[in-house]
Homo-oligomer: A and B are copies of this chain.
Amino acid sequence: MQSERIIMAHGSGGRLSQRLVAEVFQQAFANPYLDQMNDAAVLPPAQGQPALTTDSFVVSPLFFRGGDIGKLAVCGTVNDLAVTGAAPKYLTAGFVLEEGLLINDLNRIVQSMAATAETAGVTLVAGDTKVVERGSADKLFINTTGLGFIPEGTQLNPLQVKAGDKIIVSGTLGDHGIAIVSEREGLSFSTPVSSDCAPLNHFIQGFLMPGVKCMRDPTRGGLATTLNEIALQAKVGMLISEEHIPLLPAVSGACGMLGFDPLYLANEGKVIAIVAPEIEARVLALMRRHPLGRQASAIGTVTSYEPGLVLLETVIGAKRILSMLEGEHLPRIC
């Protein structure tokens, strides 16, 4: 049983597909919507504006310190909803499996998705599985799509951001990137770094209030790329203070050794919030009360300098341009 592997017939749509669905997916995710087993899940009418987001996950390796591709697939999509102010409610999952994948590995990943979905309070209502020949995919890819609802009155939008607003990050940067690269390259550090992979929706609900203007989760491309995107959309400048950027010593050590800049490394459990100056202290205090926000830090200010320009003030007081990620950094990080 442990050594059973995925074969092409698991993707036929016939009896073996149904057995895989019943034994692996329905087992883990059982709920009244998924159990309808119709071509689409029919959900109860809901209040508020629907928010919809999608992400495909191709992270390599499948398992890493602090998570796995399944946990990541749930967190990534939950977080994309949460940063728009939506309460994530429903998930779909599409699997592309490579012939030869250990069913036991699939099972571990699916169990991890189910546990993470439960933590986040989202229900997986629809799924799909395809199988491709050995060599036509790398083990397993997962797409998750999320549907949430934004309560009336909540409106987050980069267009509300203006000079004087404060930039807060909810914790240490680059943990996920370094966790993946260590796993992949077989590096070991005296203090191993775990991925920060976590669903942020409950955490975000704890500090979401009028005056929070825009949130993002700095995944691929890291803090630097995300700030550049917001600055471009909002047509504002930004000034970030290097000394206020929270970093684990192990991450900053690994970055030095490997030549990575932590500001471009992916995070999977952090949020950037841009808030009106008068609520900065309150948001920070609320974040720090939650286990996911203990190291929250105010890292900079929105400016009226050149629109789209993000400047970093270094610890020795020099200013340099923090541009968007150019070229390739770390492939298959999520």
Instruction: List the interface of chain A (C-beta within 8 A of B).
Output: 7-9, 11-18, 37-58, 79-81, 83-84, 86, 90, 92-96, 125-133, 135-138, 141, 143, 145-148, 150, 157-158, 216-217, 219-221, 225, 229, 233, 264, 266, 324-329, 331-332, 334
Contacts and interface: CB of A to CB of B under 8 A. Distances in A.
Nearest to A86: B40
A40 to B, nearest CB: 4
Most chain B C-beta atoms within 10 Å of own C-beta, residue among A125, A145, A220, A266: A145
Contacts of A50: 42-43, 45-46, 50, 147
Contacts of A83: 39-40
Contacts of A334: 130
Contact of A328 (B9, B58, B141): B9
Given A40-B81, A84-B42, A94-B54, A14 B329 contact: yes
Binding site secondary structure of chain A? mixed
The complex is assembled from copies of this chain, and their number is 2
Most chain B C-beta atoms within 10 Å of own C-beta, residue among A48, A148, A327: A327
Contacts of A127: 54
Contacts of A39: 53, 79-81, 83-84, 216-217
A229 B50 CA distance: 32
A165 to B, nearest CB: 17
Contacts of A125: 52
Given A13-B225, A94-B145, A325-B15, A128 B54 contact: yes
A113 B137 CA distance: 23
A44 B94 CA distance: 26
Instruction: Report the 8 A-B pairs with minimum CB-CB distance, sorted nearest first.
Output: A13-B220, A14-B325, A13-B221, A40-B53, A54-B92, A143-B143, A145-B145, A56-B94
Contact of A16 (B86, B94, B141, B327): B327
Most chain B C-beta atoms within 10 Å of own C-beta, residue among A13, A53, A135: A13
